[in-house]
C-alpha cells in the first residue's frame, strides 16, 4: 500500500494528487510503526507528518494555485544519468539486504516502550532536544522573513 501510494506520488501530474497520495504513504507507514511496536513514533508520524506538514503542503499548493505540471522536453541529464543511478542504487541495496537479512531477527522490545523512550529522550538526549527546539525557532523566523520579504 505504501509502495502504491509512492508510485502514485511520482506518476501523478497534478501536485494536489501527489500530496494526497503522500498522505496515504504516511498513514501506511504509521501502521507499520505500530507493527514494529513503536507507538510513539506512529503517533508523531500521524500528528506531525500527516497533520502539520501535509496541511502546509496543501496550503501552499492552493495558495500558489498550482495547475498540472507542464510537459517540458525531458531533461537529458536525468534521462541518461538518473535511471541507471536509481537502478544501481536499488540493486546494491537489495543485495545488501538480501545478504544481511539472515542476521536480523526482531528482538522483543521493552514493555512500556514509550516510557523508556521518554527517559532516553529527556535524560540522555537532553542537549540535542534543546538544540532541535532552537532549530525550530530559527526555521519559524526564517520562514516568516522569507514569506514576508518581498510580498
Partner 1 sequence: MDSHDRRRSRRLGGVTKVVPISYYVTLSAVLFGLGIAGVLFKRNIITIFMSIELMLNAVNLAFVAFGRSLGQLQGQVFVFFVIVVAAAEAAVGLAIVIVVARSRQSLNVERVNLLKL
- What part of residues 45-84 is at the interface with partner 1 (CB under 8 A)? 45, 48-49, 52-53, 56-57, 60-61, 63-64, 66, 69-70, 72, 75, 78, 82
Q: In whole angstroms, give the CA distance from residue 17 to residue 31.
A: 22
143, 56 Cβ separation under 8 angstroms: no
Is 40 near partner 1 (CB under 8 A)? yes
Residue from 80, 84, 86, 130 touching partner 1 (CB under 8 A): that is: 86
Least CB distance to partner 1 at residue 86 (A) = 5
Q: How many CB atoms lie within 10 A of CB 38?
A: 18
Site string for partner 1, 92-121 (x = CB under 8 A): -xx--xx-xx--xxxxxxxx-x--xx--xx
Crossing angle for the helix pair 15-35 and 2-11, to the nearest 10 degrees: 160
Q: Can you tell me which of 24, 31, 33, 46 binds partner 1, judged by CB under 8 A?
A: 33
Q: What gap in Å lies between CA 52 and CA 48, rounded to an integer?
A: 5
Amino acid at each position: 500500500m505504501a509502495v502504491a501510494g509512492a508510485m502514485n506520488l511520482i506518476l501523478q501530474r497534478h501536485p494536489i494528487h501527489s500530496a494526497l497520495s503522500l498522505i496515504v504513504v504516511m498513514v501506511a507507514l504509521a501502521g507499520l510503526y505500530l507493527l514494529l511496536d513503536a507507538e510513539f513514533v506512529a503517533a508523531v508520524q500521524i500528528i506531525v507528518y500527516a497533520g502539520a506538514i501535509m496541511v502546509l503542503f496543501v496550503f501552499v499548493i492552493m495558495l500558489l494555485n498550482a495547475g498540472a505540471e507542464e510537459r517540458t522536453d525531458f531533461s537529458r541529464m536525468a534521462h541518461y544519468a538518473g535511471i541507471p543511478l536509481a537502478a544501481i542504487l536499488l540493486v546494491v541495496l537489495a543485495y545488501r539486504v538480501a545478504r544481511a537479512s539472515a542476521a536480523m531477527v526482531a528482538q522483543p522490545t521493552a514493555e512500556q516502550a514509550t516510557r523508556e523512550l521518554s527517559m532516553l529522550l529527556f535524560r540522555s538526549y537532553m542537549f540535542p532536544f534543546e538544540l532541535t527546539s532552537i532549530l525550530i525557532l530559527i526555521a519559524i523566523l526564517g520562514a516568516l522573513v522569507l514569506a514576508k520579504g518581498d510580498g
